[in-house]
Chains A and B, each alone.
Chain A
Amino acid sequence: MERPEAEPLSASGSCQAGEAEAEAGSGPAAEEPGGRAAGTMMEDCLSKKIEITVSEAEKRTGRNAMNMQEIYTAYLIETRAVESQTEGQCSPPDSLWRRYSEFELLRNYLLVNYPHIVVPPLPEKRAEFVWHKLSADNMDPDFVERRRIGLENFLIRVASHPIICQDKIFYSFLTQEGGWKEMVNETGFQLKAESRLKALNATFRVKNPDKRFTELKHYSDELQSVISHLLRVRARVADRLYGVYKVHGNYGRVFSEWSAIEKEMGDGLQSAGHHMDVYAASIDDILEEEEHYADQLKEYLFYAEALRAVCRKHELIQYDLEMAAQDLASKKQQCEELATGTLRTFSLKGMTSKLFGQESPEQREGKIKVLEEQIHDGEEQLKSKNVEGREFVKSAWADIERFKEQKNHDLKEALINYAVMQISMCKKGIQVWTNAKECFSKM
C-alpha cells in the first residue's frame, strides 16, 4: 500500500533565484492577477486612478486604550482623482486624518489576508541608526517629517500593487474616516492570523520545501543583516564627516583675528576665513539629503522582513501538508492492520489486544468503518491542501518576481542618487577651496 506523498513542490524544474527572469516568463502569468506581465496590469492599479498624498502631520492629544492621556501625531491623507486633474480642473482633494497605529492595523490586515504577497513595509516605528546630531525622539519634527514621507510612500506602494490595491479595506482606509477600525476588526482577520508565524525563530521540520523559498529565506536573512550593518556604519561615517567640516569653521574665526594685525595679508585672510565658514555650514544640508538615502535603504531592510514572512508562510503550508499526509498514511496503515489482522508496526492497541485478547469482529468492523471515513476525509483534505500549497507557491513566486524587479530598480536608483549626492558634495568642496585659494593668492 502506498503512502500518498505530498507532491514535490519544487515546481517546473529546479529554479535558482538567479534564473528568476527566465522562470517568470514561462510561468502561468496570464492566469494570475499578480502575474509577471506587470506592465499591462499596472493600468488597473489604484495608483493610476487616484493621486495619494500624506500632506500634513499634526500633534494631537487623546486617550489611549487604558484611558490615559497621550500625545500622538495624526497624518492627513489626501486623495484626488487623476482624471479630474488632466481635464484642467483642480478639484479639492478628499482628506482624512489617520495615526500611525491605524497604518499598522491596515498592514497587519493585509499581511493576514494576502500571505503570498510581499507587503510593503511601514516606515520605522522608532528612530534607529541615528547619528548623533539627529534626534531619536519620535516627536522630533525631522523624524515626523521623514515619517510623513514614509507613510505616503507606503500608501503609494500598496496602491501600485496590482493585487492589494483592489482591496476594499484599503480603499476605505483612504476614503472613510469614521468606523474604519470597526470595519477592519469585523473582518475577523485577527482570528485568521497565524500565531505560529509570529514565533519567528520556530523552525518547522519541513521535509520537502520548495528549494527556491529556502534560498530566498536565506537571502532575506542575509539582506537584513547586511543592510543593518550598512546603516550602522553609514551613521558613524556621517558623524565623523560632520566633525571634519565643523572644525574648519574655527579657521574662519582665527583668520579673522589674525587679519586684524596684518597689513597686506589682512584682506586675503579675512575673506578666506569667510569661505571656511561657508564650508563648515555646508555639511548640514549635505547630511540631511543623505538621510533620504538612508530611508530608502531602511525600506528595503523592512521589505526583507516581508519577504521572509512569505517564505515562512510557505514553510507552514508545506509543514501542514506533510503532517496531513503523514497522518493519513498512519490511518491507512491502521486500517490495513485491522483489516488483515497483521501487526506491521508496534502499537499500544496491538499489544493490549495481544495481552487482553482480540477484539470482536463487530468492534473491529466499527473501527475500520470509522477509519475509512477519516481516510476519505483525509484524502480530500490532502488534495485541497496540495492544491492550496501549489497555488500558494505559484502566486507567491509571481509576486516575488515582481518584487525582485522592483527591488533592483529602486536600489539602483538609490545608488545613483547617492553617487549624485557625493558628486554634488565634491563639487561644492572644490568650489569653496578654489574660492579660498583665490583669497590666499591675494595675500
Chain B
Amino acid sequence: FSSQTSSHSRLLLCTWEQDFAPEDLSLPNGTPVDTSSPASSSSLLNRLQLDDDLDGETRDLFVTVDDPKKHICTMETYITYRVTTKTTRAEFDLPEYSIRRRYQDFDWLRNKLEESQPTHLIPPLPEKFVMKGVVDRFSEEFVETRRKALDKFLKRIADHPVLSFNEHFNVFLTAKDLNAYKKQGMALLSKMGESVKYVTGSYKLRSRPLEFAAVGDYLDTFVLKLGTIDRIAQRIIKEELEYLVELREYGPVYSTWGGLEVELAEPLEGVSACIGNCCTALEELSDDMTEDFLPVLREYILYSESMKNVLKKRDQVQAEYEAKLEAVALKKEERPKMPADVEKCQDRVECFNADLKADMERWQNNKRQDFRQLLMGMADKNIQYYEKCLTAWESIIPLLQDKPETK
C-alpha cells in the first residue's frame, strides 16, 4: 500500500495579505462570513466556540451517505452516492436535502476546505486512484468500503464546529447542480490571482509551543506502527485464505471416504459438512477484515499525514511572523506601536495555534474512540468465527456417538 502521497500531501497555501483586500469580510482564521444572514456577534461567537457537543441532543446537522448507484454513460462509467442532510440550522434554507454526488465531488470539497480552512485539520478521503485490473472499482465490496469512508468523511466535517459552517460544505450538501458552482469558484479564483505555494521542508523556529513540539515525532512513530499493523493484517488475511484453500480440499475427502463405508458413512459425512461450515465462517472473517479493518487503518495513515502537513503550515506561519518580528527589531526606530502587518501576523499565529490545538485534541479523542472500536471489532469478528466453528463441531458430536441399530 504505497501511494500515500495523494492530493492530501500537496498543500495549497494562500498568502492572505496579497489576495484578500482589507475590506473583505473574513474572520482571522479565513472563514468567510455568511452574508446572507445578519452576522450578529453572538452567532459569530457561537461559531468560534471550540468545544463541540457530540451528543445527539445538541447536534443540529446530520449527514448520511448511502445508496450507491452505477451510471453508464458514453464517455465513462461511474458511481454516485446519495447524500442526505437533516438540519435545523439557519444557514440552510430547507430542513432536509437529498442529492447525489460522485467521488470527484468529494475530492473537490476536500480541496476547497483545505484552501479555505488552512488552519484546520481536514478529514481524509479514501484513495482516489485504484489500479485497474487489480481492484474492481465496481465490485460490491469496493463500493461499500468507499461508501463507508465517504460517510465518515462527511460526518467528521459535520461534527466540526468550524468546518461544518463552511460555505463550500453547505453548497456540497444542498446544490442541485454542483458543477455550475464549481465553475463559478474557478472563475473567482483566477480573478483573485491566487498564488499557490508548496510547503516543503521544515522551518527554523525559535521555539514551538509545547503542544506542537512532541506531536510531530508522535505522528511519525504512529504512522510507522499503523503501517506495520496494516502489513500484519494483510499477511494474516493471506495466510487465512491459503488455509481456506487447503480446507476446501480437506473436507470433501471425508465425504469420499464416507462413500466407501457403511457404518461410518454418516459420521464421515458429518465431519465433511462440519469442515465445510468452518470454511464458510473463515471466508466471512477474512472478508470482514478486508472490508472493515484495513480501510480504517489506511484512513488513519492518511489522516496522520494530513495532520503533519497542517503542522508544517502552522510552522510556516510562525516562521513568517518571527521573521517579520526580527526585521522590525533591526530597524532601530523607536516605534510605540507594532506595524499593522506584524500585528496581523501575530493574530494569524495565535488563531492558527488555537484552531489547531482544538483540532488536535479532537483528533486524539476520535483516534482513541475509533481505534477502540476498530480493535474491539477485530476481536469480535474472530470471536464470531470461533463461535460458528464451535457450534458446527459441537453439533456433530451426538451424530458421531450415535450407535447404529443392531440389524
Tell me the bound Cα distance from A250 to B268 in angstroms.
Answer: 37
Nearest chain B residue, comparing its CB with the CB of A230: B253
A437→B379 contact, CB < 8 A: yes
Q: Which of A168-176, A231-239, A338-346 contacts B (4 or more CB under 8 A)?
A: A231-239
| B190 within 8 A of partner (CB) | no
Interface size on A, residues (CB 8 A): 53
B256→A254 contact, CB < 8 A: no
Q: A227-B257, A261-B222 are in contact. Are A415 and B407 (CB under 8 A)?
A: no
| A392 within 8 A of partner (CB) | no
Query: Of residues 365 to 403 in B, which have CB atoms within 8 Å of A's CB atoms?
Result: 368, 371-372, 375-376, 379-380, 382-383, 385-387, 389-390, 393-394, 396-397, 400-401
Nearest chain B residue, comparing its CB with the CB of A231: B253
A430→B387 contact, CB < 8 A: yes
Q: A233-B253, A422-B389 are in contact. Are A429 and B394 (CB under 8 A)?
A: no
A443→B375 contact, CB < 8 A: yes
Nearest chain A residue, comparing its CB with the CB of B388: A426
Q: Which of B243, B264, B267, B379 contacts A434 (CB 8 A)?
A: B379
With both chains docked as a complex, state the minimum distance between the C-beta of B365 and any C-beta of chain A, in angstroms: 10
Query: Of residues 229 to 259 in B, which have CB atoms within 8 Å of A's CB atoms?
Result: 229, 232, 235-236, 239-240, 242-243, 245-247, 249-250, 253-254, 256-257
| B21 within 8 A of partner (CB) | no
B243→A443 contact, CB < 8 A: no
| A103 within 8 A of partner (CB) | no
B390→A426 contact, CB < 8 A: yes
B257→A243 contact, CB < 8 A: no
- A265-297 vs B, CB cutoff 8 Å, 1 = contact: the mask equals 100100010000000000000000000000000
Q: Say whether chain A's binding surface is mostly helix, strand, loop, or mixed.
A: helix
Q: Which of A227, A251, A418, A430 contacts B229 (CB 8 A)?
A: A251
B267→A415 contact, CB < 8 A: yes
Q: Which of A115-123, A136-144, A218-226 contacts B (4 or more CB under 8 A)?
A: A218-226
Tell me the bound Cα distance from A440 to B229 in angstroms.
Answer: 15
| A105 within 8 A of partner (CB) | no
With both chains docked as a complex, state the minimum distance between the C-beta of A278 and any C-beta of chain B, in angstroms: 14
| A241 within 8 A of partner (CB) | yes
A240→B271 contact, CB < 8 A: no
A415→B253 contact, CB < 8 A: no
| A21 within 8 A of partner (CB) | yes
With both chains docked as a complex, state the minimum distance between the C-beta of A98 and any C-beta of chain B, in angstroms: 34
Q: Which of A226, A418, A423, A436 contacts B257 (CB 8 A)?
A: A226
Query: Of residues 57 to 92 in A, which have CB atoms within 8 Å of B's CB atoms?
Result: none
| A441 within 8 A of partner (CB) | yes
| A377 within 8 A of partner (CB) | no
Nearest chain B residue, comparing its CB with the CB of A427: B390
B400→A412 contact, CB < 8 A: yes
| A11 within 8 A of partner (CB) | no
Tell me the bound Cα distance from A233 to B257 in angstroms.
Answer: 14
Q: Most A CB atoms within 10 A — which of B245, B271, B372, B379?
A: B379
Nearest chain A residue, comparing its CB with the CB of B253: A230
Tell me the bound Cα distance from A423 to B398 in angstroms.
Answer: 13
B239→A247 contact, CB < 8 A: yes
A241→B368 contact, CB < 8 A: no
B260→A411 contact, CB < 8 A: no
Tell me the bound Cα distance from A434 to B381 in angstroms.
Answer: 11
| B340 within 8 A of partner (CB) | no
Tell me the bound Cα distance from A412 to B263 in angstroms.
Answer: 9
| A107 within 8 A of partner (CB) | no
Query: Of residues 205 to 264 in A, which have CB atoms within 8 Å of B's CB atoms?
Result: 219, 222-223, 226-227, 229-230, 233-234, 236-237, 239-241, 243-244, 247-248, 250-251, 254, 257-258, 261, 264
Residues of B within 8 A of A (CB): 218, 221-222, 225, 228-229, 232, 235-236, 239-240, 242-243, 245-247, 249-250, 253-254, 256-257, 260-264, 267-268, 271, 274, 368, 371-372, 375-376, 379-380, 382-383, 385-387, 389-390, 393-394, 396-397, 400-401, 406-407
Please give me the 7 A-B residue pairs with the lowest Cβ-Cβ distance, nearest first: A437-B379, A240-B243, A426-B390, A429-B386, A440-B375, A258-B225, A243-B239
